[in-house]
Amino acid sequence: MESMFSGTVRALLLLFAFHPLTVTAAQTPPAYPQRSIRLVIPFPAGGTPDLIARTTTNQLEAEFGQSFVIDNRAGANGIIGTDIVAKSAPDGYTLLHVTPSFVINPRVYRKLPYDVFRDFAPIINLCTFPGYLLLVHPAVNARSVGELIALAKSRDKPLTYGSPGIGNTLHLAAEMFNARSGTQLTHVPYKGIAPAFNALLGGEVQVLFIPPAIALQQVKTGRARALAFTGAVRWAELPELPTLGEAGLNGFSVTGGWHAWFAPAGTPRAVLQKLESAAGRAVKLPKLREGMVAAGCEPDGSPTALFTELLRTEERRYAEVVRAAKIEAE
């Protein structure tokens, strides 16, 4: 009897000894990623966000051994695509590549279908832009910022400026220019920077603020005329071009913002950390850095903690810009 009891006890001890290992193994999630990752860009294909995203994901595909599917979902100044990600499963397989419109939209739209701080988890800031070019169509009789201001004030019919839509940084830059210069350039919104730039090249609008790398070739060939750069210092690719501050609007400086990745809130921390680490390594690679510089941006790679602080700062800064530009919420 004692022998039978001892045998039973040993069997039970062995069962309980191996049972926790069995449960742990069953609950261990598979290594991430196991399939392709969807990266939603809430802007049209062909713009700067598209270029930065594709340059970065090309590097991550090699490391992860999985493809990134770029999904351009333009509309409503980025709201449509951003909402798609907000409502996606928090599993790391749907991500968002977005610009400062992310924190501007809550200030220019009365009701959004998501909350930028509650419904998203920041991953990493890939790069920042030092500023924009102020362009005019070649037919505009102005070869300096001073001449543009004088022309705008002398016309009975206002000059028009294009933008990718209401509330983006290009729209805000133009309205800040109006406020500082005393002009009344009329806003014509388009569905993306590409159609806005085409409108300038075609003479549909006379003025445009634009990320510099997009317009560099057209400026060099004379299809568009650059009058100034909005950054704090001159752009290295056009060193002869003055800043707006140098051109007469003392203290006027508008940076081009940032390009960052987000995931839906609730995404596992381990997944977020893996994405942050991989993207952080990618932006340090010489090939990727060269591509970003060619696109007119400065590689960043700020980790999640620092980027979260930047988001709060940016939200407050753009709230002030919206108020100064007297943009009414829609």
Domain architecture of the chain: domains with CATH: 37-129+257-324 (3.40.190.150), 133-229 (3.40.190.10)
The beta-strand segments (E) located in 6-84 are 37-41, 68-72
Rounded Cα distance, 273 and 284, in Å: 17
What is the arithmetic mean of pLDDT over 139-154? 97
pLDDT at residue 325 is higher than 50:
yes
Tokens of 14: 């062995």
pLDDT band at 10 (very low <50, low <70, confident <90, very high): low
For position 300, what pLDDT does the model report? 93
Alpha-carbon torsion angle 193, 198, 203, 208, nearest 10: 20
Give start and end residues of each alpha helix (H) in 168-303: 169-181, 193-201, 212-221, 269-282, 286-294
Average pLDDT, the chain: 88
For position 16, what pLDDT does the model report? 44
pLDDT band at 305 (very low <50, low <70, confident <90, very high): confident
Rounded Cα distance, 79 and 101, in Å: 9
What is the arithmetic mean of pLDDT over 95-107? 93
What is the arithmetic mean of pLDDT over 137-143? 98
Rounded Cα distance, 202 and 207, in Å: 12
Other Cβ atoms within 10 Å of 60 Cβ, number? 20
In this structure, of 115-119, 193-197, 318-322, the range with the lowest mean pLDDT score is 318-322
For position 51, what pLDDT does the model report? 86
pTM value is 0.80
Tens-digit pLDDT profile for residues 226-253: 999 999 999 988 999 999 999 999 988 8
For position 254, what pLDDT does the model report? 86
Tens-digit pLDDT profile for residues 67-93: 999 999 988 889 999 999 999 999 999
pLDDT at residue 6 is higher than 60:
no
Rounded Cα distance, 192 and 73, in Å: 11
Calculate what percentage of the chain has a pLDDT beyond 90: 63
What is the arithmetic mean of pLDDT over 115-120? 96
In this structure, of 13-22, 96-105, 170-179, 250-259, the range with the lowest mean pLDDT score is 13-22
* Run of H or E residues at 314: helix 304-324
Of residues 142 and 308, more confidently modeled: 142
Measured CA angle at 193 (ends 308, 310), to 5 deg:
10
Of residues 130 and 14, more confidently modeled: 130
